[in-house]
A and B are shown apart, each in its own frame.
Chain A
Amino acid sequence: MAISSAAPATARVKRPASAPDRGSKLFASWWWAIPALVVSILVHYVAVAVGGTFAFTNWKGIGAFQFVGFDNFAKIFSGDLGRGAILNTLFLAFGFLIGTNVFGLLLALALNRGVKLRYFLRVVIFMPTVLSPLAVSYIWRFIYQPQGPLNSFLGSVGLESWQRTWLADPVSSIWTILIVMVWQSTGLVMVIYLAGLAGVPQELEEAAAIDGANVFQRFRHVVFPLIRPSFVIASTLMLIQGLRVFDQVMALTGGGPFNATETLATQVYKQTFAYGQFGYGAALSLVLTVLIIVISLIQMGLTSGRERKS
């Protein structure tokens, strides 16, 4: 009797909700998001779409404008300046991606365990990350000056032939920017990898060592697969940050010498605000946006694919 009376109760609990109940639950589950969704669509997507249409005009920031089709894009891809800006952007982005990840990972591995002063050293290495990129760049500009500390040091150790006008040298100038970018952001990447390394059981490494794996093999087959999520995060963040590089270029070289370090972001700023070519600036912005989206998606696809495989 007790069993038979319990059965309907269980059935009542498990019975699916009626159609109106389902609708109201479904409605209650998402309609609260409508205001935020509308604001988000208006602020992010509609505004970007409307702004994007200006890429097809010759608007100068004031007054009337005309639709000019793909003229602005043709100018970007046919002119030396536009092509150079795209190439420099890609060079700095991938150089930044590689530099920060290599040095950040090495530092994370070095300071993960064992070193006595590791907590202090982590803080020291992370500290540049919290500084303003502009402030850091101005300090480095002083270091790179013709009579600055770098050339003085090279002279003092007998390397006078290495001395040069670092920020106005057509070859070295883009490397000086890359060095500053990597120097400042390596600490951030190190912290991301340290977070990943914290989840790697020491026993696994020890077991691999007992099995005869050397340091590189232990890293390649044990540690790296376990910290791959950190690699995905670090590489994605650094790639996007690298593609958007602006502050360091403006503060160090201003895009010079003779446009040798112009990037898409600096060109967007100059064309739009300095020369009043809002249409062309919008086209450059659109190219930069598409570049960031496409490269980031490819990069995330590659890394997450490997993650699934591993």
Chain B
Amino acid sequence: MPIQFNHRRRLGVALGAATVLGLALGGCSSATPEEPAGSETPSGPVTLRLSVEAGSAEAPVAVLAQQYSKENPDVTFDVEPVPNEQYGEVLRTQLQGGNAPDVFYVTGGQGNPHSALPLAEAGYLVDLSKTVAKDLYTDQSRFLGEFDGKIWTQPYDFVPVTNNYNLTVAKELGIDLPFKSVDDVLDACGVAQKAGKSLLRLAGSTVPNNGLTTLQLAATRVYSEDPDWNEKRLKGDVTFADTKGWTESLELIVKMYKEGCFQQGAEAGVIADNVPAIAAGTAVGGFAPGGQIGDLRRVNPDNEYVSTAFPGDKGEKYLFASPSNMLALNASSDKAKQKAGLAFLAWLAEPEHADALAEVSGNLSIRAGAGAELPDQYQFISDYFSDENYQPLGNLQWPSPEIYNTLGTGVQGLLTGQTDVESVLKAMDAAWDQAAG
């Protein structure tokens, strides 16, 4: 029988982590979530530590935090940007060491190192069930922030996963957007090739781009027909290998590769080259979150860009859009800071501020799903939202990041001929079963 330890074994865990991480850690915190303080503005001056992911530009939440401080001079922020690849590790270390920020960025679900639910389970987050946060979820997306019947995080924007195009270049080539079927896409691949360009840019050496591309193809082949596919997979009713839509999605990637839809040497492509290539017009488009359009505009502001959804074989319409960017409050912070944090979250959820944040991030306002007016870049997918043909990104509900990694590396193996579709899907099933225990 395995010996059970709990997280109160501060010294042992911290010392082990120090070795494993190569970092010096403090002891484990045994923070227990308490009833949230009221969301009214705190009475005295408060400085909140705000942890965000570092990027090429200032984090959208940090921009809004500055605005909040102007409106509420008693509340100031110490913003702590942490690089994406280290974010989860740093946050977990800080939480265990008892020196985590008061307000911090997390992603929904449990598929990432900085996913919210494992932190909620470990008792590090403030319960937000009695705040406005609960109103920002739909029934479909509630699982991203819910654990043990309570809401632990507040989403702050809405991230559509889209097929982005340089509209200016597409028009020059005579390519009509949006595509209505896969045949349209394949025809356009030929047109782009003849012009010495590629229709799509694929960073085939990177897991996230391969994974996101496959998921977009799977949106209409798996999830539009069966929105509860993840639930069924969790119960063991279905598998990747025995789901026709997953096989078709991977086969389509291989077909597109063979027909020259992606750039030459796509299997070695890197994400950093995608935006420059699309902005420069050597590739017409690529797969990424809608926020990529903001980057494209910064690189080449003279061109027009649009976000579309990849079509189904017969024109089916379905895409992934998730309130996956979230904020959480540290359960170990003192009451005054928790109170100030709650007030900030309440302010951020107001439609005016939610829209302002979306404008900075390039994603959609957290209110978009409720029928808010969409920016021009989303003109071709506005009906997806009004018709509710969307759901949270598939992998956010997967029990481990390793499954997504298996998909991403598997796609590269398909492009290089090192593996086959069935093997990739079976490997994903194995990773799922292992993670689910």
State the A residues within 8 Å of B (CB). Answer: 46-48, 50-54, 59-68, 141, 144-147, 165-170, 253-260, 270, 272-278, 281-282, 285
Contact = CB atoms under 8 A, between A and B. Distances in A.
Given A62-B7, A256-B409, A145 B265 contact: yes
A276 B401 contact: yes
Contact of A63 (B3, B118, B413): B118
B56 interface: no
Contacts of B417: 170
Contact of B4 (A66, A256, A272, A273): A66
A64 B4 contact: yes
Contacts of A272: 20-21
B88 to A, nearest CB: 7
Given A50-B12, A50-B15, A285-B20, A257 B412 contact: yes
B162 interface: no
Q: Is the interface of B mostly helix, strand, loop or mixed?
A: helix
A14 to B, nearest CB: 52
Contacts of B265: 145-147, 165, 168
Nearest to B19: A51
Nearest to A260: B418
A52 B19 CA distance: 8
Given A146-B268, A275-B402, A275-B405, A61 B17 contact: yes
A168 B118 contact: no
The 7 A-B residue pairs whose C-beta atoms are closest, nearest first, are A51-B19, A146-B265, A258-B413, A168-B268, A168-B267, A66-B2, A258-B418
From B4, B13, B19, B204, name the one whose CB has the most chain A CB atoms within 10 angstroms.
B19
Contact of B119 (A59, A62, A169, A277): A62
Given A257-B418, A276-B113, A47 B15 contact: yes
A6 B58 CA distance: 87
B268 A165 contact: yes
A67 B4 CA distance: 8
Contacts of B15: 46-47, 50-51
Given A54-B19, A147-B265, 18 more contacts: A47-B15, A47-B18, A51-B20, A52-B19, A64-B6, A65-B5, A66-B5, A68-B2, A141-B270, A166-B268, A168-B205, A259-B409, A275-B113, A275-B401, A275-B405, A276-B113, A276-B400, A277-B402
Interface in B391-431: 400-402, 405, 409-410, 412-413, 415-419
A60 B113 CA distance: 9
Nearest to A144: B268
Contacts of A64: 4-7
Interface stretch (B45-53, B89-97, B236-244, B331-339): B89-97
A254 B416 CA distance: 15
B264 interface: yes
